[in-house]
Amino acid sequence: MERLKDADPKRLGTVTLRGRLGRGGMGTVYFGVTDDGEAVAVKVIRDDLADRADIHARFVREMDALRSVSSPHLAALLASSEDSDERPWMALEYIRGLSLKEYLDAHGPLTVEQTATLGLLIAKALADIHAAGLLHRDLKPGNILMGPEGPKVIDLGLVALAEGPTDLTSSGIPLGTVVCMSPEQVDSPKQVSAATDIYGLGATLLYSLARHFPYEAPAGPMLMLKISNPTIPPDLGGVPDPFVPILQRMVASDPIARPTITEVHNLLERLIGGQLPASIRNLAVTTYVERESDPEDPTPQQRPARKDLSHVAPPGSVIHRLAERLRKNYAATARF
């Protein structure tokens, strides 16, 4: 986390900002603390895009989407700006864990069971998003945070209506991350369906197992040509045998050939073998690695010490005390 710059806001609504977490396609993300002492991630439109009406509309769309979706596997919206504010902002649940991409790059691929569990929980988040009549459209390892309660999907910046064409057109901001884009998202980004999120989930699970994406190339245009060419099959090298037929369907070139989100859930559940509560706990314990605290954070003494959580946490540990929450998340998933 970087310290605030002179030009950065110091307070937004009931949130005091303490540092910079990062910078994305639309916004700058800050670490903040509410007046109630709750840590939050605060997203604000970037200075260089503040005057763009299309970016402003897209940001507001993301806030509206977060208000309309409720899911235990989606980072929750906790506070936001009023409609009268010149520059909108949103405060989201702050998850101290690494992104899935950061975790995999540092610790290597997940096991078949861990990947199936990860996929099942993300499928539940997507099902909740789709149930609200929306599409995520930018699912990737970088948009999944591995928190103490398991994975949480973030960033609905490219969210679109599931029914009918989206009005999000090219405006200098990529309509997704190319390595996780479906062929139809490359060719006709205004005509996508829930099958696009299935493809993004498949690409994410492929990376979790084999540390590469369905298609890779040294340059973006070449990569997009490979993705959109139905005669070039996706690379599933390094994928364990039990996962090959599932991923073949999920990253199929033809969206009609991909399974539905319910089918994905059922296929992955079979790989876990009926031990879902234990598998969820194992995934959370294994992948939760807390980020280093920042000097600007006013509550570091309240945080649990950073631990090596590659083993099963002993009774009394922070992760062990989260078992009840995990069971609740499982109960929500079981009602898929």
b/e code 186-223 from CB counts within 10 Å (16+ = b): beebeebbbbbbbbbbbbbbbbbbbebbbbeeeeeeeb
* Residue 332: band (very low, low, confident or very high) from pLDDT cuts 50, 70, 90: low
Active-site residue, selected from the candidate residues 36, 48, 138, 294: 138
Domain ranges of the chain: 11-93, 100-272
pLDDT in tens, 30-71: 999 999 999 999 999 888 887 888 888 878 888 888 888 889
138 is catalytic: yes
Nearest to 113 by CA among 242, 236, 200: 242
Question: What pLDDT is recorded for position 281?
Answer: 93
The domain 11-93 is classified under which CATH number: 3.30.200.20, 3.10.350.10, 3.40.190.10, 3.40.50.300? 3.30.200.20
- Could you give the residue ranges of the DSSP H alpha helices within 69-160? 100-107, 112-131
Q: By three-state DSSP, how is residue 98 classified?
A: coil
The answer to whether the CB of 60 falls within 8 A of the CB of 80 is no
Question: What pLDDT is recorded for position 325?
Answer: 54
Question: What pLDDT is recorded for position 68?
Answer: 86
pLDDT in tens, 215-247: 999 988 999 999 999 999 999 999 999 999 999
β-bridge mates for residue 153, sequence order: 74, 144
Q: Does domain 100-272 have CATH number 1.10.287.90?
A: no
Name the CA dihedral angle for 329, 267, 183, 225, rounded to a multiple of 10 degrees.
Answer: 110
Comparing 33-47, 136-150, 212-226, 300-314, which segment has the lowest mean pLDDT?
Answer: 300-314
CA atoms in the 13 A half-sphere facing the CB of 228? 13
CA atoms in the 13 A half-sphere facing the CB of 232? 14
> Which helix (DSSP H) or strand (DSSP E) does residue 153 occupy?
strand 150-153
pTM of the model: 0.83
Question: What pLDDT is recorded for position 191?
Answer: 77
Q: By three-state DSSP, how is residue 244 classified?
A: helix
In this model, does residue 285 exceed pLDDT 90? yes
